[in-house]
Every structure is written in structure tokens, then in C-alpha cells.
Amino acid sequence: MPEGIVEGESDADQVGYLEPCPPEGQRHQYFFTVLAMNDVVEENPELTLTEFEQEHASKVIARGSLLGTYER
């Protein structure tokens, strides 16, 4: 990741991107969220997205979300 970029913990309890891998024959939805901040924030990848947004609400200047549906 470029300097200054911080990744939070996923629902799989891991930091970083994990490719979609739904169980065979099932369709799953995956949510991707990006926040633009107007200031540097202390790195704490253990916060959930909701906790992070509550803690840094005054610094969030834009938010983008993508919903992907995958099946195999």
C-alpha cells in the first residue's frame, strides 16, 4: 500500500484484502468501503468500520461503497 494508507480489519478478522470466496453453489455479497479523511488519524486496524467512523466522524470528508455479488 502507498505510504499513508491504512487498511482496517475485515470481517474475516484479517488486515488487508482477501479475494471473494463464497461456498460452492452459494451467492454472497461483499461490501467494500473507502473513506477520505481531511487529516491524518492514528492507525488502529482493529476498529470496526462503524467504530472508526464514530471515532473520526469530524475528519471524514467523503465515503464510497461498493457492493459486489459473487458465486461459484
* Mean per-residue pLDDT of the chain: 85
Q: Is the pLDDT of residue 14 over 90?
A: no
- Give CA–CA dist 4/11, Å, rounded: 22
60 contacts 36 by C-beta, under 8 angstroms: yes
Quick one: pLDDT band at residue 41, thresholds 50, 70, 90?
Answer: confident
Q: What is the pLDDT of residue 1?
A: 66
Residue 52: Cβ within 10 Å count = 20
The CATH classification number of 1-72 equals: 3.90.280.10
Higher pLDDT, 66 or 8: 66
- What's the confidence (pLDDT) of residue 56? 93
